[in-house]
Structure 1
Amino acid sequence: MKDEAQVIVIGAGPVGQSAALLLARWGIQVLVLDQRPGRARGGSKSICQQRDVLDIWAAAGAGKVAEEGLAWTTARTYHRDRELFSWTFEREGPLPACVNISQSRTEQILDEAIAAQPLIEVRWEHEVTGLTQDATGVTVRCGQRLLRAPYVLACAGARAQALRGALGVAFTGETYEDQFLICDIKADLPGWENERRFYFDPIWNPGRQVLIHPCPGGTYRIDWQIAPDFIPADADIARKIRQVVGDRPYELLWHSTYRFHSRVASRMRVGRVLLAGDCAHLVAPFGARGLNSGVPDAENAAWKLAFVLNGWAGEELLESYHAERHAAALENLEVTTATMRFLAPASVEERMRRRAALEGGRVAEVDSGRFAEPFWYADSPLTTPEPSRPFLGRPPKGALCPPAPGVILPDVLVPGGRLRQFTRDGFLVLLGDMCDSSLFVQVLGKVMRAPLAVRGLAEMDGTGSLAERLGAGPDEAWLIRPDSHIAAIIPHAGPEPVAAAMSRAIGGSPDM
């Protein structure tokens, strides 16, 4: 790296890798530091990658994750040997709703993209031992070495106690008592190749749960909930696998045990330092809300840091990172805590309610996890509310949020690609047929220094059907952020109210 880094990213896991790629996409020079000697291989770890995260990775140059991942479609939930219910993902656009792929392969793909990006430098064996801030930047201490950058993005993982402590950030929450045994196996399991299976109280793990996920190449990930004091020996693992696969041949590829934590940082921005991923929040994995929340952290931080560093917005924009992503973390905590209370009841009353729900087939009360979804920034200081299009609250399980200010833009096919691909290079204004595009370009170009595109909805697809698919009115203007979230939907739109919404969306006053 010829010049001094503009952002130091601490941690070279998938969140740190994503952040580096997304910052470099905005022309920002990035230095990535990691305390490990190099990339560790092996183990599936975080496997479920949600559609909107695949979209982010595609924009970052890592579209191979979606291409190589196994796109499963159906989730089945059982009580013992009886199926309680199943559900399928709601289809939206060309990307699969979810793919399963090992974290180690995801990291390889992200590393390949980083290697092709001259604005990123990765330094292994750089343990961060201290941080100090002043009015112009952050000094990062790695032993005797001092490094400096205007901003730091901490993606240092769950064990970053010293870093959080140095920033005065609390990380309160709880640790669940039960352990979980996780195994990767290779086996031929006909009919299971595209289904996630969740078992409550199976005869081969009485009183606890088992989760089975298909992965690429005929491999499967199996999670057993096990007792807090159980130490599985090789014979125990073999017996447990046999109880799932029967007498079929199988190969054990990897195994580990762990406990779940539910914790959220008290602050995700401290001055010039932003916290992202497991460094900022830990949740139980049922619903795959860990990495699928960490990558949106990285995207949210990246475009805002880039706007500030490029002089397109004031530093006050960075406070919205905490406002938006901390709210997302609390939403994930609420959802996963409810799931864990059902999976591991803490009281007699909770155990009785769970038993009644499972044995009585009361499907609405059974909670095996709500799958990850993009958070809605309806209450963000960057969002301009519109009473005629209110956010309707958390959607039903498996459903999509109707378009509204704060909600992510639906991803649909248009000539030249997916709709969201046209949002990644700056702000995008989408106009109905009754709006004069030339007038908007003339006015908005004077008030926005950041990259800006103004497009007619009919122009986007050449038929006018895009407006119908979005539910956009002919006199409406839609302001779309660089992370594809809708900042404003303005009826009877003129350039001035759109300019005011644009000012709000980059952290300024809505009064022009």
Structure 2
Amino acid sequence: MDPVIVVGAGPVGLALSLALARHDVPSVVLDEGPGKDEQRPARTVVLREDTAALVERLSGTSFDRAGSRWTGWRSLRRKQEMRTLTFGEQSPAPLHIAQHELTGALREAVAREPLIKVAVDSRLDSIEEDRSGLTAHTRGPKGTWWRGSYLVGCDGPRSTVRKLLDIRFPGRTAVERHAVAALRTELPWPGEALLHRSPPWRTSGPAGSEVVGRPLADGVWRLDWLLPPRSDLVTPDVLVARIRETLAGWCGGSTPPYELLDTGVHTVHHRLARRWRVGRAFLAGDAAHLLGALGTQGLDEGLRDADNLSWKLALTWHDGPHPAPAALLDSYQAERRAIVAARLRAADQALPILRGGKGPRGLRAYVPGGARGHDALLTDGHLGHGPLGAPGAYTDSPLAPLPTESQVDVGTAPGAPIADVRVTAPDGSFVRLRDRLGLGHLLVVLVAPGTGVWERKHWMSAGLMPRLAAAIAALPHEAELLVAESYPGAAAHTVLLIRPDGHLVTALSGVRPAELYEAAQTALGGAAPEGEPVESAARTGGPA
């Protein structure tokens, strides 16, 4: 088949092409730029645990330089300390890096990947679809026609793909505006991110003003000041005054030495495309949605789009003896759009409370505790917790199997991202569960306490393992058997079925071949192939 055409060479487009390559699917990335990114220290990204792990897995790069992972979180209101958090193994720190560093690492990984071709200075101007694929035309010095099996628009807020597909993009403009500065200095909280609401030194501006300080590597900080609605332009003199005022307020009244590296104004819009798929063309990232108020991060959702879509495109691209059902590709919009829409609704409900609006019955209609309730909502957004920030679960997905009598509850709800536990891989090595994601197959994890002290060859032929291995061999798609000593909330002999993007399909009590087969078939978009009923395809013995 023809490659997948990826329009846009930002983080989402590059991540999608690398994710497709891990599934052995070739792609062409149409980059309207010169193939490199402008270095802007004030343009940074904050990635949560799951999306940080995804980009590290795809790029083969560790971003754990000193300062990139925060040591803690501190929130203040006026002169009062509201909350402090320390990050560690039980509470992983977000990853904070300059966007050009992230994109550069992804570009280097793309350059090493033979399945990916990047066409620079190639701006899309038309798409033509037919029964067997589609053709995209680019203009510029290297303008030409490109043939593809599918096309994904990762080309940002002003997406050409979205416009060519005539998809509406309704929403709200300028939900929030921030003045931004990147500078090198020393603050009293090395390595800790800081949210300060209503700082006492402000001599002007609204009472609800706030400033956020986020550390980066090499002693650099990004500072964001919330601007009042319909405020005037932020001149260089005004921004320097804000910097000096803020640093002095945090450092006991005198401004410490600092080196100003970059400045800007960041405007947050909230928009959601009406459709994310038209035939063989899809939207992902900022082309499909814009969000980012209250500390939430739009790139998180864009990377989750890429992770969700890549394995579904790959399964359809490879086909095999039983072509993937159309419902599999349809589920991309059903799953991802619902998650982003819920995130936008949560932000819209919180904004009047946190920004001084007149919501019904005020703050008590939503959260108790006055100022502490405000702080809790904002902390959720900044740290990726709760409705504003936690990774979404595909609970109502069309790929979710119906509950059965053998389904058991574990620490992960069906449809939610799995916990990253240590597992034994097929070669006998110990790896993290997330390291086995995105390789083109389903994962089946058996919870078997005590196996960690024995070599895999000694227990693969013992107990229920032969029956489970036979059940996995009969599944409608390739699956990898992994063994974990424990999993949160799971009893011994629990069997977990996991999608290629790391979301739990189901957890079963013991080896249930027929139920495992049916759950896998549903997660792949349809019922058992015609002429091959579930019972016969999965008959490898009774439950154990």
- TM-score bracket, normalised by the shorter chain, equals 0.7 to 0.9
Instruction: Tell me the CA shift for residue 175 of structure 1.
Output: 1.3
Which runs of structure 2 are paired with 1:431-470 in the superposition (5 Å)?
431-432=446-447, 436-448=464-476, 450-455=477-482, 457=483, 460=484, 466-467=485-486, 469-470=487-488
In structure 1, what is the Cα distance between the partners aligned to 2:416 and 2:293?
Answer: 24
- Structure 1 counterpart of 2:492, from 474, 481, 501: 474
**Residue 229 of structure 1 pairs with residue 234 of structure 2:** no
**Residue 367 of structure 1 pairs with residue 372 of structure 2:** no
Partner of 2:179: 181
- Structure 2 counterpart of 1:138, from 114, 134, 149: 134
Kindly provide the CA deviation profile for residues 455-478 of structure 1, in whole angstroms up to 9, marking residues without a partner as x: 3x3xx4xxxxx23x4322334321
Which runs of structure 2 are paired with 1:24-423 in the superposition (5 Å)?
24-43=21-40, 44-66=42-64, 70-88=68-86, 91-92=89-90, 96-143=92-139, 145-160=144-159, 162-176=160-174, 178-200=176-198, 202-204=200-202, 206-207=206-207, 208-227=209-228, 228-246=230-248, 247-312=255-320, 313-347=324-358, 353=363, 361-363=371-373, 367-370=377-380, 371=384, 372-386=389-403, 402-414=411-423, 416-423=430-437
Partner of 1:397: none
In structure 2, what is the Cα distance between the partners aligned to 1:391 and 1:129?
Answer: 51
Instruction: Tell me the CA shift for residue 310 of structure 1.
Output: 1.2
Please tell me whether the aligned partners of residues 22 and 438 of structure 2 are also in contact (alpha carbons under 8 angstroms): no
Please tell me whether the aligned partners of residues 80 and 199 of structure 1 are also in contact (alpha carbons under 8 angstroms): yes
Of 379-388 and 140-149, the range deviating more from structure 2: 379-388
Counterpart of 2:76 in structure 1: which amino acid? Y
In structure 2, what is the Cα distance between the partners aligned to 1:101 and 1:277?
Answer: 19
Please tell me whether the aligned partners of residues 210 and 226 of structure 2 are also in contact (alpha carbons under 8 angstroms): yes
Please tell me whether the aligned partners of residues 20 and 311 of structure 2 are also in contact (alpha carbons under 8 angstroms): yes
Tell me how many residue pairs correspond in the alignment: 486
In structure 2, what is the Cα distance between the partners aligned to 1:67 and 1:383?
Answer: 39
In structure 2, what is the Cα distance between the partners aligned to 1:359 and 1:446?
Answer: 55
CA distance 1:369–1:264, shift in 2 (3 Å): farther
CA distance 1:359–1:329, shift in 2 (3 Å): closer
**Residue 16 of structure 1 pairs with residue 13 of structure 2:** yes
Please tell me whether the aligned partners of residues 179 and 224 of structure 2 are also in contact (alpha carbons under 8 angstroms): yes
In structure 2, what is the Cα distance between the partners aligned to 1:69 and 1:53?
Answer: 18
Instruction: Tell me the CA shift for residue 291 of structure 1.
Output: 0.7
Please tell me whether the aligned partners of residues 404 and 489 of structure 1 are also in contact (alpha carbons under 8 angstroms): no
Please tell me whether the aligned partners of residues 407 and 508 of structure 2 are also in contact (alpha carbons under 8 angstroms): no
Partner of 1:490: 508
Please tell me whether the aligned partners of residues 157 and 290 of structure 2 are also in contact (alpha carbons under 8 angstroms): yes
In structure 2, what is the Cα distance between the partners aligned to 1:85 and 1:74?
Answer: 11
Of 81-90 and 480-489, the range deviating more from structure 2: 81-90
In structure 1, what is the Cα distance between the partners aligned to 2:242 and 2:346?
Answer: 29
Of 200-209 and 22-31, the range deviating more from structure 2: 200-209
Counterpart of 2:238 in structure 1: which amino acid? D
CA distance 1:477–1:122, shift in 2 (3 Å): same
Counterpart of 1:223 in structure 2: which amino acid? D
Please tell me whether the aligned partners of residues 183 and 223 of structure 1 are also in contact (alpha carbons under 8 angstroms): yes
Instruction: Tell me the CA shift for residue 163 of structure 1.
Output: 2.4
Please tell me whether the aligned partners of residues 67 and 219 of structure 2 are also in contact (alpha carbons under 8 angstroms): no
Of 109-118 and 428-437, the range deviating more from structure 2: 428-437
Counterpart of 1:221 in structure 2: which amino acid? R
Kindly provide the CA deviation profile for residues 406-441 of structure 1, in whole angstroms up to 9, marking residues without a partner as x: 111101234522122234321111235597232233
Which runs of structure 2 are paired with 1:418-429 in the superposition (5 Å)?
418-425=432-439, 426-429=441-444
* Runs of 5+ unmatched residues, structure 1: 393-400, 461-465
Instruction: Tell me the CA shift for residue 360 of structure 1.
Output: 5.3
* Runs of 5+ unmatched residues, structure 2: 249-254, 424-428, 449-461, 535-544
Of 422-431 and 433-442, the range deviating more from structure 2: 433-442
Q: CA RMSD in A?
A: 2.9
Counterpart of 1:404 in structure 2: which amino acid? A
In structure 2, what is the Cα distance between the partners aligned to 1:67 and 1:381?
Answer: 41
In structure 2, what is the Cα distance between the partners aligned to 1:346 and 1:42?
Answer: 37
Please tell me whether the aligned partners of residues 276 and 333 of structure 2 are also in contact (alpha carbons under 8 angstroms): yes
TM-score w.r.t. length of structure 1? 0.87
CA distance 1:193–1:441, shift in 2 (3 Å): closer
Instruction: Tell me the CA shift for residue 55 of structure 1.
Output: 1.6
Instruction: Tell me the CA shift for residue 386 of structure 1.
Output: 3.7
Counterpart of 1:476 in structure 2: which amino acid? T
Of 125-134 and 332-341, the range deviating more from structure 2: 332-341
In structure 2, what is the Cα distance between the partners aligned to 1:366 and 1:441?
Answer: 46
SS in 2 for 1:8: strand
CA distance 1:364–1:221, shift in 2 (3 Å): closer
Kindly provide the CA deviation profile for residues 204-262 of structure 1, in whole angstroms up to 9, marking residues without a partner as x: 25432211111111111111122323212221111100011121111111111132111
TM-score w.r.t. length of structure 2? 0.82
In structure 2, what is the Cα distance between the partners aligned to 1:306 and 1:389?
Answer: 31
Please tell me whether the aligned partners of residues 215 and 221 of structure 2 are also in contact (alpha carbons under 8 angstroms): yes
Counterpart of 2:436 in structure 1: which amino acid? F
CA distance 1:505–1:177, shift in 2 (3 Å): closer
Counterpart of 1:8 in structure 2: which amino acid? I
CA distance 1:390–1:68, shift in 2 (3 Å): farther
In structure 2, what is the Cα distance between the partners aligned to 1:493 and 1:154?
Answer: 42
